[in-house]
Amino acid sequence: MISIPVYYFVVDTIWKGELDEHNHIIIKKTAYEFNQLKLSEEELDKSITLWNQIQPETNIEKISTQQIKRDTVYTYEKHLPFISEQKKERYRCLKKVIYLQNKPYLFTIQTNIEESHETIAVIAMITIFFFVIIVLGLLYLNRKLSSSIWKPFRDTLDQLKTFNLNSQNTLQFPASDTTEFEELNQSLYKLIERNISTYKTQKEFTENASHELQTPLAIIKNKLDLLLQDQNLTEKQYRIVEDINKALTRSSRINKNLLLLAKIENNQFDGSEIVLFDHLLQQSIDTLGEHFEQKNISVQEEISGSVQVNGNSILTEILINNLIINAIRHTSPGGFISIQLTDSSFEVSNSGVEKLNTDFLFKRFSKLSTDNSGSGLGLAIIQEICRFHHWTISYRFENHRHFFTVKL
């Protein structure tokens, strides 16, 4: 856009310069031809009168020696009377003093200049045309160069997308002449090696903890069970052992839940199974039937049939059990629980008094009630299972009811 007026002024200046040179030549040639005729003064006046009549864009006027001035060059616009269109034409004018028969005459010549708006239009069209050609050419060259230059980077990116920490497949990044890409590949090699090493260490710790910690806890629990059966225990000793047994049971549950969270976070579960969600839900309801009866809780079921999801059956069963057990634990005796399942959502609701604190709802070891029988990890496990399956869980409190909804 800036180049268009620049081009116009450059072309217009050159054009005016050429017209000025042309006018000078015409004037000099005319004066030379008149002087070559060697006319008398009367014949010269007649010839000049005739010249002025047949040459409308020139004018020769006799002047006195006092009227002699320097050459004058200017541009002006005028309307031509013989043209019907109401528009003005631009003219480049030159006034120059010539000598005919050694007498001064003022020679005025006017030459039409190309109309400015036409010049601008042509220049704009040509400029825009070549600008479009340049842009299209640059886009084409940029695409061709980008596909060539960025090919090693895209190959590296494709390999990173397919990399799975569980499979730990070896990556072979393509060699590149570009220093930055080669440095990137070397950094990625080191980063992946550290991640694999860390993953192996965490996995080994999880597996070792799963076996090594559970064994002594089980032995201690068995010893405590035997001790509780001893008839020589006093009532005070019995209470102490019973408290130890409860704490040990809770510690064992916390240990199992922490190990489960570690396995989920380390992606140690297969998520490609086809899970029959409605079957697992019905099994959990039947298994937990005794808990409903103990607290005299009424259960409302709205379960759609043939609900299938892609994921892990073990984790899905844990999610169902944790949600229902959480509802049982926080429902007062004589209350009710509603369980609903559709193709797109799984919802468990129970009667309640006040809304739970949503800031600490899914945090680990956060206590939402005075009940100490839980590990404080149930809702955290539920949230991690939802993340593993790319589901979303939400909580709301309406009409004295707690609602936990999982969007499948």
pLDDT at position 350 is 93
DSSP-assigned beta bridge partners for residue 111: 92
Distance between CA atoms of residues 98 and 80, nearest Å: 27
DSSP letter for 333, please. Answer: T
**pLDDT (tens digit per residue) in 336-380:** 999 999 999 999 999 988 888 887 788 876 665 555 555 567 888
pLDDT at position 360 is 76
Query: Which of residues 208 and 105 earns the better pLDDT score?
Result: 105
Q: Find out whether 346 and 280 touch, Cβ atoms under 8 Å.
A: no
pLDDT at position 402 is 92
Distance between CA atoms of residues 20 and 72, nearest Å: 10
DSSP letter for 311, please. Answer: E
DSSP-assigned beta bridge partners for residue 341: 303, 346
Specify burial of residue 15 (Cβ count, 10 A radius: 0-12, 13-18, 19+).
Answer: middle
Give the closest residue to 61 by CA, choosing from 36, 37, 88, 96: 96
Query: Which of residues 207 and 44 earns the better pLDDT score?
Result: 44
Among the ranges given (26-35, 102-111, 218-227), the one the predictor scored with the smallest mean pLDDT: 218-227
Among the ranges given (41-55, 156-170, 225-239), the one the predictor scored with the smallest mean pLDDT: 156-170
Residue 198 has pLDDT above 90, yes or no: no
Distance between CA atoms of residues 273 and 26, nearest Å: 98
Instruction: For the chain, give the percent of residues with pLDDT over 90.
Output: 28
pLDDT at position 228 is 80
CB-side neighbour CA atoms (13 Å) of 208: 6
pLDDT at position 285 is 92
pLDDT at position 14 is 86
Q: Which phi-psi region, left, alpha or beta, contains residue 334 (left: φ > 0; alpha: ψ -120 to 50)?
A: left
Task: Label residue 174 by pLDDT band (50, 70, 90).
Answer: confident
Q: Residue 299: CB partners within 8 Å, gap ≥ 6?
A: 285, 292, 336, 337, 338, 339
pLDDT at position 82 is 60
pLDDT at position 105 is 92
**pLDDT (tens digit per residue) in 254-307:** 777 777 877 777 777 888 889 999 999 999 999 998 889 999 999 999 999 889
Alpha carbon 380 to chain centroid, angstroms: 31
pLDDT at position 358 is 80
Give the closest residue to 241 by CA, choosing from 220, 264, 265, 224: 224
pLDDT at position 97 is 92
Q: What is the pTM of this model?
A: 0.51
Residue 35 has pLDDT above 80, yes or no: yes
**pLDDT (tens digit per residue) in 79-122:** 766 666 667 788 889 999 999 988 999 999 998 886 666 777 88
pLDDT at position 85 is 64
Q: Residue 24: CB partners within 8 Å, gap ≥ 6?
A: 94, 96
Give the closest residue to 350 by CA, choosing from 320, 325, 327: 327
Q: Find out whether 406 and 391 touch, Cβ atoms under 8 Å.
A: yes
Alpha-helix runs per DSSP H in 65-150: 116-149
Query: Distances in Å between the alpha carbon of 123 and those of 131, 294, 408?
Result: 12, 93, 63
Distance between CA atoms of residues 313 and 319, nearest Å: 10
pLDDT at position 277 is 92
Q: Residue 68: CB partners within 8 Å, gap ≥ 6?
A: 97, 104
Report the range out of 207-211, 263-267, 324-328 with the highest average pLDDT.
Answer: 324-328
Distance between CA atoms of residues 364 and 265, nearest Å: 14
Query: Which of residues 243 and 115 earns the better pLDDT score?
Result: 243
- What number is the average pLDDT over the span 38-52? 89
- What number is the average pLDDT over the span 192-204? 81
Instruction: For the chain, give the percent of residues with pLDDT over 70.
Output: 92
Report the range out of 8-22, 139-153, 230-244, 326-340 with the highest average pLDDT.
Answer: 326-340
pLDDT at position 164 is 72
Query: Which helix (H) or strand (E) segment is 300 a member of?
Result: strand 298-303
pLDDT at position 154 is 85
Parallel, antiparallel, or unpaired: how do β-strands 298-303 and 336-341 relate? parallel
Distance between CA atoms of residues 61 and 59, nearest Å: 6
Query: Which helix (H) or strand (E) segment is 347 a member of?
Result: strand 345-351
Q: Which phi-psi region, left, alpha or beta, contains residue 400 (left: φ > 0; alpha: ψ -120 to 50)?
A: left
Alpha-helix runs per DSSP H in 98-213: 116-149, 151-162, 179-212
Domain range list for the chain: 3-116, 152-212, 269-407
Mean confidence (pLDDT) of the chain? 85
Give the closest residue to 299 by CA, choosing from 340, 330, 329: 340
Tell me, which fold does domain 269-407 have in CATH?
Heat Shock Protein 90 (3.30.565)
